[in-house]
Each structure stands twice: as C-alpha cells, then as structure tokens.
Structure 1
Amino acid sequence: MKLILTADVPNLGAPGDIVEVKDGYGRNYLLPRSLAVVATRGAEKQVASIRRSQQARQIRDLGHAKEVAGQLGDLSVTVRAKAAGDSGRLFGSVTAADVVEAVRAAGGPPLDRRSVEVSGQIKSVGTHAVTVRLHPEVTAELDIAVVAS
C-alpha cells in the first residue's frame, strides 16, 4: 500500500514522505490515526504543502540540532501546575505542550510538542526528566521542575 505520511512516524518517515507499507499496517494503524493518507495524484500535490509546514518547524541539520541540545542543557525550566493536593499530587498531569510552553517561557528555543517525550505521566510536584528528540541522531535530556501555583 502506497501512503503519504502526514505526521512523523518513528522508524518509518517524516511528514510528506511517500512510503510503501503492508496493507494491514496502513489500514489498521496509520490511516485510522491520521498519520498517513492514501497516495493518489491529488494527494501527492499536497506533499509540497506538508513539507513546507514541516520545514518551518524542523531542526535544519545535525549541527543545528546539537546547538539546540546545548541550549536546552543550560536551561532551568519550571512548569507551573494548576493545582495540587496536600501530598504534592497534581489534579491532572503535565503534558508535552506544557513542557514546550515552559521552555519557551524560560527563553529556550522553539520546540515542536511532538518532539517532546514525557516518560509515563507527570502527576506530582518535583523534578522530572523529559527527553526531547531533536534529530534522528540527537536527543536531549531536560530536567523540569514542577511546582504548584
């Protein structure tokens, strides 16, 4: 099955890539989750617009990814949670979008929320480690402090 990816799929490709996958993987995983569309002539024309939007938020190359990783290593990021109980447990959880907003507020580089990998759920105040996937060869570890506001 020939598909055009609309989102980054690990070990498969980036948005705008035209890939050939097995029928079941395409029908049961990629298409229902809107990670890809069927490659038709009309859809192939959309590839250019998908790639333009991807390049606007993408790290340019390996050197730029290492530079951004260095900037992230120097940051002190604090995420303000909306509310927490007496034991420090949050009412809700900290998401990747919250982390991206906190990095931007701390003066860090602009990140895409899809590149931030929160291991498990952050549901308590304290310091937590978050992985940022900047490039296929470069990942950065970011320590965030979660405080109740």
Structure 2
Amino acid sequence: MRKKTIKVILTKDVQKLGKQGTLIKVKPGYIRNYLIPLKLAEIATTSLINQFALKQKESEIKQIQFTKKCITNKELLENLEKFTIRKKISENGVFFGKVTKKQILDLIIEKVDLTIDLNKNQLELPEMKQLGNYIIEINLTTNVIAKINIEILPE
C-alpha cells in the first residue's frame, strides 16, 4: 500500500517543516487537522506556486541589495582608524563606570554617516575594564561583520 502525500506551500514559518514559501509534501490528515485550520499552509496549485516563486525572487533581490549596503557600511566603518572614549580613571589604571553599547553606538552614529540603521544588539563588546585599545565587532547582517577599534583614554 502506497502512502498518499499532498504538496503544500507554507504561508508561515513552521518549526521542523520549513520556512515561509517552502513547497513540502505532507500527509492529508496533517494538512486537514493542523496546517490549514491554523493558516500555516495552502494546498499547492500551479498559480500559487508561481506567486510564491515571484515573491521569493523579490525577497532575494531585496536581500542582495541590503547585503550590498551592509558591505559598503562595513568598508566605511573599517576605514576609520579609531574611535576614542574618555573616562575618569583610578590610581591603578581602571576606569570608573562602564563603556556601554549605547555609548559606542552614539559615537559611531556621530562619526560615520551609515545608510542602514544600527541597534545595540548588533554590537559585540569584549570585557573592558582598563585603558587601552579594544576591537568591537558589529554584525551588520549574516556573514558581514565589521571590526572597529575603540581606544579608551583618561580624561
């Protein structure tokens, strides 16, 4: 006896099945009882497959354009030599307070005119407790990471 499966296109991301727009084969009961009532998938017709193919092409083009913007912003950030932050220090060279992601983000926005918006979740900071040079990584997008130098000096 052959098991019957039906092709569907996912309209939303479904864990363990796939991402939105993916064409998959599933059993009829799973479609009838779970995917269609929760509006997670639609039965694949030729017109629906063509619509999702067009949407995927558009999203791929947008993703490529965004990646190009991120690469140009990476070059802008890495071409600057150093960003400096001034802090009050104690007698043993340890500075008071913390260097926060918001401080670094404000410094980057002030010095560099970026074409994309950055948020503090994209910054990866090393542990900074003493004066010196530190390398900060900025995750602009997947596989595009900019590294900038931050120098902490006494006031």
Q: TM-score, normalised by structure 1?
A: 0.55
Q: RMSD of aligned C-alpha atoms?
A: 2.3
Q: What does 1:102-141 align with in structure 2 at a 5 Å threshold?
A: 102-109=107-114, 111-119=118-126, 121-141=127-147
Q: Percent identity?
A: 19
Residue in structure 1 matched with residue 7 of structure 2 by the alignment: none
SS in 2 for 1:91: coil
Q: What does 1:79-94 align with in structure 2 at a 5 Å threshold?
A: 79-81=85-87, 83-94=88-99
**Contact map agreement 2:76 2:112 (CA 8 A) in 1:** no
Bigger strand fraction: 1
SS in 1 for 2:96: strand
What is the CA–CA distance in structure 2 between the aligned matches of 1:90 and 1:108, rounded to whole Å?
Answer: 29
Aligned-partner residue type, residue 129 of structure 1: I
Give the paired residue count: 94
Offset of 1:20 from its aligned partner?
5.2
Gaps in structure 1 of 5+ consecutive residues? 1-17, 23-40, 42-59
Aligned-partner residue type, residue 72 of structure 1: L
Q: 2:150 aligns with which of 118, 129, 144?
A: 144
Change (3 A) 1:129 1:19: same
Change (3 A) 1:104 1:20: same
Q: What does 1:1-149 align with in structure 2 at a 5 Å threshold?
A: 61-75=66-80, 76-81=82-87, 83-109=88-114, 111-119=118-126, 121-149=127-155
